[in-house]
């Protein structure tokens, strides 16, 4: 009888697990790290969805799109979280994403009306350095200096791609000359942001490509004011990070629920002190203390998704040509 009771209990537990829907979200590695938003987002969403949220880390943002293109309609993902405005056009062209039903009042520096992708945070790219350093005040001054920098590969990393767009938006046809001059400054090119920032913290270079918000991590989490973001006279390129639902998702209603949850306070309040970016919707409690100390670029640079798509291959070739010199 004991064996029968145990077997019945086991079957019941197995059925309960089988009845729990699973939502798979592809995102970048730092999002799912112990110190990233992932653990808190998973706990908060599972508390309201009656589901199992499976967050899958896949390198950096640009690598996400490559993975989805490779898997095509057979992808296990229901949602891709971590693309940005530079990749939206290319992602839409795949035909793999479905329109969303999210409604929200965004606190973005730009108007948002994309029918497929939903924003969850934003920020400005910047080079971060030790606060006691006399940092260059422009991309051109950086290229003309002996300052050593760490950057990310634009083929796998959204910050790396953002730097391509930054140089192109600031210098247009003169971008190749800037890249040629910058080539001597680059210590190494990493696949993703985490590797580059880690090398910077280990003292491998003077500056690292990151965000104007990065010093907030050190200030708030570590009570360390020794890091700063350089402000450049050409302006700073903006990044808006987005998520989208796969058209082939076998959990479309749950995917819609997650996207709507993503712009709600329970998610947005997690972003500032885990992803260290500005939330797409300001939390009810406001931004954390310390964000008011961050630099605000005097000039904002941003290409539209279509402009970025049109410029991407040419800008990439300019960068590759400079590296080969």
Expressed in angstroms, the distance from the first to the final Cα of the chain is 79
What is the separation of C-alpha 17 from the centre of its chain, rounded to a whole number of angstroms? 32
Give the C-alpha separation, 12 to 54, whole Å: 23
Q: Contact 101/217 with Cβ under 8 angstroms? A: no
Model pLDDT, residue 65: 93
Give the C-alpha separation, 110 to 301, whole Å: 11
Model pLDDT, residue 61: 76
Classify 30 as helix, strand or coil: helix
Give the C-alpha separation, 33 to 39, whole Å: 8
pLDDT tens, N- to C-terminus, the chain (325 residues):
445 444 445 555 444 455 899 999 999 999 999 999 999 999 999 999 999 999 999 977 788 999 999 999 999 999 999 999 999 999 999 999 999 999 999 999 999 999 999 999 999 999 999 999 999 999 999 999 999 999 999 998 999 999 999 999 999 999 999 999 999 999 999 998 989 999 999 999 999 999 999 999 999 999 999 999 999 999 999 999 999 999 999 999 999 999 999 999 999 999 999 999 999 999 999 999 999 999 999 999 999 999 999 999 999 999 999 998 7
User: 305-324 vs 158-171: helix axis angle to the nearest 10?
Assistant: 90
Q: Helices marked H in the chain — which ranges?
A: 2-19, 29-32, 38-49, 61-71, 88-93, 139-144, 158-171, 175-182, 193-201, 214-216, 252-262, 265-268, 305-324
Closest CA to 93 of 116, 124, 113, 62: 116
DSSP-based helix, strand, coil % in the chain, nearest 5? 45, 20, 35
Q: Tell me the two tokens of residue 209.
A: 């490509």
Model pLDDT, residue 16: 47
> Domains, the chain, ranges and CATH?
19-122+239-288 (3.40.190.10), 123-238+292-324 (3.40.190.10)
Model pLDDT, residue 70: 95
Model pLDDT, residue 4: 44
pTM for this prediction: 0.91
Q: Is 51 left (phi over 0), alpha (psi -120 to 50) or beta?
A: beta
Model pLDDT, residue 63: 85
Model pLDDT, residue 325: 77
């Amino acid at each position: 009888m004991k064996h029968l009771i145990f077997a019945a209990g086991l079957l019941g537990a197995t059925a309960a697990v089988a009845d729990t829907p699973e939502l798979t979200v592809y995102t970048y590695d730092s999002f799912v790290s112990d110190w990233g938003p992932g653990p808190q987002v998973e706990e908060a969403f599972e508390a309201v969805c009656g589901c199992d949220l499976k967050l899958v880390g896949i390198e950096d943002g640009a690598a996400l799109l490559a993975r989805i293109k490779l898997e095509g309609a057979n992808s296990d993902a229901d949602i891709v979280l971590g693309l940005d405005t530079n990749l939206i056009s290319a992602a839409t062209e795949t035909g793999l994403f479905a329109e969303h039903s999210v409604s929200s009042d965004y606190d973005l520096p730009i108007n948002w009306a994309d029918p497929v992708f939903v924003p969850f945070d934003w920020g400005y790219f910047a080079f971060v350095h030790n606060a006691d350093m006399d940092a260059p005040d422009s991309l051109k001054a950086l290229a003309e200096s002996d300052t050593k920098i760490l950057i990310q590969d634009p083929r796998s990393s959204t910050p790396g791609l953002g730097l391509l767009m930054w140089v192109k938006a600031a210098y247009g046809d003169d971008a190749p000359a800037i890249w040629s001059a910058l080539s001597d400054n680059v210590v190494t090119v990493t696949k993703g942001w985490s590797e580059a920032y880690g090398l910077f913290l280990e003292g491998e270079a003077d500056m690292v490509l990151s965000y104007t918000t990065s010093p907030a991590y050190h200030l708030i989490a570590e009570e360390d004011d020794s890091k700063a973001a350089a402000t450049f006279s050409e302006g700073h390129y903006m990044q808006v990070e987005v998520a989208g639902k796969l058209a082939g998702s076998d959990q479309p209603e749950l995917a819609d629920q997650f996207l709507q949850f993503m712009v709600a306070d329970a998610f947005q309040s997690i972003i500032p002190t885990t992803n260290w970016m500005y939330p797409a919707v300001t939390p009810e409690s406001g931004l954390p203390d310390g964000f008011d100390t961050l630099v605000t670029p005097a000039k904002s640079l941003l290409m539209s998704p279509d402009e970025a798509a049109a410029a991407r291959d040419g800008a990439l070739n300019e960068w590759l040509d400079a590296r080969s010199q």
